[in-house]
């Protein structure tokens, strides 16, 4: 009984003001949530890794996904890929603002580039979840 109560207290949603700024900044600037929460070393590592992966994707001329409808697989791949791209935050916004547009062409380098761009966003999601846990007091 006591354990259940303890578990419920632990799982309770923390107030929005405690975690939204960290998560939002973490989305906009990779590692930004950690910087806001004074975890500068970890924030710097996240910033370097996510930005490095995204820049490698750009230099490999990877394609950015656009949401498309059609059969289930097309919708899933393109929408999922788009969400992955958008999760890179300011890196994605800047690349779109500066007119980065690369067609999906054949070749392993382009293919790796596309995966690097999506993976950078997915890694940033991990960083945002970590920032949430720190802000919610579930992690040091």
Partner 1 sequence: MPKMNLSHFEAAFLFSLFASVVMGVVTKRTDRDRLHYGFYTFGCFLLALFGLGWLMYFGHG
State both tokens at 7.
């578990």
90 binds partner 1 (CB under 8 A): no
Contact string 41-70 vs partner 1 (x = CB under 8 A): -x--xx-xxx-xx--x-xxxx---------
Q: What's the min distance (Å) between Cβ of 75 and partner 1?
A: 26
The CA distance from 1 to 21, in Å, is 35
Q: Is 48 helix (H, G, I), strand (E, B) or coil?
A: helix
Q: Which one of the spans 4-12, 14-22, 86-94, 105-113 is the region binding partner 1 (CB under 8 A)?
A: 105-113
136 binds partner 1 (CB under 8 A): no
Are the C-beta atoms of residues 121 and 86 closer than 8 Å to each other?
yes
- The packing angle between helices 72-86 and 108-135, to 10°, is 60
Closest among 126, 60, 133 to 88, alpha carbons compared: 126
The CA distance from 44 to 34, in Å, is 9
37 binds partner 1 (CB under 8 A): no
* CA–CA distances in Å: residue 18 to residues 39, 80, 95, 126: 16, 29, 31, 18
Q: Which one of the spans 1-9, 16-24, 78-86, 122-130 is the region binding partner 1 (CB under 8 A)?
A: 122-130
Q: What's the min distance (Å) between Cβ of 7 and partner 1?
A: 19
Nearer to partner 1, 28 or 100 (CB): 100
The site for partner 1 (CB under 8 A) is made up of 42, 45-46, 48-50, 52-53, 56, 58-61, 100, 108-109, 112, 115-116, 119-120, 123, 126-127, 129-130, 139-140
């Amino acid at each position: 009984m006591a354990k259940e109560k303890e578990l419920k207290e632990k799982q309770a949603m923390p107030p929005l003001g405690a975690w939204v700024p960290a998560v939002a900044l973490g989305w906009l600037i990779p590692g930004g949530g950690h910087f806001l929460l004074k975890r500068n070393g970890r924030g710097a590592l996240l910033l370097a890794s996510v930005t490095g992966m995204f820049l490698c994707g750009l230099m490999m001329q990877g394609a950015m996904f656009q949401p498309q409808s059609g059969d289930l697989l097309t919708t899933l791949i393109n929408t999922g890929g788009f969400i992955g791209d958008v999760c890179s935050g300011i890196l994605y916004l800047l690349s779109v603002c500066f007119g980065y547009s690369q067609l999906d062409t054949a070749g392993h380098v382009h293919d790796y580039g596309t995966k690097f761009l999506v993976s950078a966003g997915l890694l940033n999601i991990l960083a945002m979840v970590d920032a949430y846990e720190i802000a919610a007091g579930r992690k040091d």
